Amino acid sequence: MWFLLVFLVIIIVIAAMSIKIVKQSEVYIIERLGKFYKVADAGLTIIIPFLDHVRSVVSLKQQTMDIPPQGVITKDNVTITIDTVVFYQITDPAKAVYEIQSLKKGIEYLAITTIRDIIGKMDLDETFSSRDGINTKLRVVLDEATDRWGCKIDRVEIKDITPPADIRDAMEKEMNAERNKRALILESEAERQSAITIAEGKKQAAILEAEADKESQIRRAIGEAQAIKEVAEAKSKEIEMVYNAMKKANPNDKLVQLKSLEALEEVAKGDANKVFIPFEATSALGALGAMKDVVTDNNKKSKDN
């Protein structure tokens, strides 16, 4: 009875040692008699107790590793502190276990020396403006170096670059001065643009005012011309009516001349009318005037009688 119980316990222990369940995104490095035997993928794996044992459990997920902040000297002899993070993934678990004693330590030391080499060839200002270039160079160098360790470097990111306190103060003052300079430039540009806009507005107003004055003068001239035309037409009708009346009365030559003179006098009375009489006609007009006076005296005498 005791023998069966002990045998059953031994069977259970052997089964527990033989059956291994590998989780997803992990692999087991299995050795047999101290020598690499196989890589067990996710799922159920059977090993031989006392002959086989699990050397290491390797994760196939992408992993991150913070590189401790490092003091680095730039090309212009300024000491800055750089904080970096590395994203990597194991592609060959066997190499990651057997080719290097500690993969994380290897990546860390390699990243530190590479950062110092890259930053040592750059000026301080260049380190701030060339983060993407630094990240790319670090990734390429680390990826080439870790390939024989069964590891792939996916990304390298510089989290922070910290200059010394005095350099930081000088940079802040420089930034403030540059910011004030840009503000003054923008303010000057705004004032210039405002002056240009005001001048353009005055110019357009003057042009419109001149055009309005011109249009007003044109309309006034058209109105005056129309008024002169209408007055002339009215006088012409008056003369025509007088002429028709005189024609019906069958007047003699002296009366025609007298009536013509009166009509000419009425035409000359208008403000908008100007009558030009040739010098040769003044004698005739004088005779007509004398004739008019004679006719007037005769009419008065006949009325008195």
Residue 40: pLDDT over 70? yes
Closest CA to 85 of 119, 59, 114, 111: 111
* Predicted pLDDT of residue 267: 53
Note the pLDDT of residue 253: 59
The yes-or-no verdict on residue 272 having pLDDT over 50 is no
pLDDT of 155-200, one tens digit each?
Answer: 999 888 888 777 777 777 777 777 778 888 888 888 888 888 888 8
Q: How confident is the model at residue 242 (pLDDT cuts 50, 70, 90)?
A: low
Please answer whether residues 161 and 122 qualify as being in contact, where contact means their C-beta atoms are separated by less than 8 angstroms. Answer: no
Average pLDDT value for the chain: 78
String of DSSP letters for 66-89 = EEEEEEEE-TTS-EEEEEEEEEEE
- The span from the CA of 234 to the CA of 269, in Å, is 13
Mean pLDDT of 131-138: 89
Last residue of one domain, picked from the residues 124, 145, 163: 163
- State whether 255 and 274 are in the same domain: yes
Residue 194 lies inside a defined structural domain of this protein: no
**Could you tell me which residue, 168 or 222, shows the higher pLDDT?**
222
> Domain limits at 246?
234-304
Residue entry with tokens 């800055």: 80
Q: DSSP letters of 228-255?
A: HHHHHHHHHHHHHHHHHHHHHH---HHH
Q: Is the pLDDT assigned to residue 280 strictly greater than 50?
A: no
Taking the C-alpha atoms of residue 77 and residue 143, their distance in angstroms, rounded to an integer, is 29
Tally of domains within the chain? 3
**Res. 301: pLDDT tops 60:** no
48 and 133 co-located in one domain: no
Query: What is the reported pLDDT for 130?
Result: 85
Check pLDDT > 70 for residue 44. Answer: yes
- Which of the two residues, 58 and 278, has the higher pLDDT score? 58
- Token pair 């994203």 in the structure block, residue: 87
Share of residues in the chain with pLDDT > 70 (%): 77
User: What is the C-alpha R_g of the chain?
Assistant: 60
Exposure string of 234-264, with b = 16+ CB inside 10 Å and e = fewer, is ebeeebeeeeeebeeeeeeeeeebbbbbebe
* 60 C-beta neighbours (distance < 10 Å), count: 15
- Tell whether pTM > 0.85: no
Which range, of 3-12, 65-74, 110-119, averages the lowest pLDDT?
3-12
Question: Are 53 and 81 members of one domain?
Answer: no
Question: For 132, what's the count of Cα atoms within 13 Å in the CB-facing half-sphere?
Answer: 1
Mean pLDDT, residues 56-83 taken together = 89
Domain boundary among 163, 180, 210: 163
Output 247 or 160, whichever has higher pLDDT: 160
Return the minimum-mean-pLDDT range out of 104-118, 205-219, 278-292: 278-292
Closest CA to 19 of 41, 39, 49: 49
Who has greater pLDDT, 179 or 55?
Answer: 55
Residue 8 belongs to a domain: no
**Which among 137, 163, 189 is the end of a domain?**
163
pLDDT in tens, 89-112: 999 999 999 988 889 999 999 999
Any domain includes 77: yes
Q: What does the alpha-carbon distance between residue 134 and residue 154 come to, in Å, rounded to a whole number? A: 14
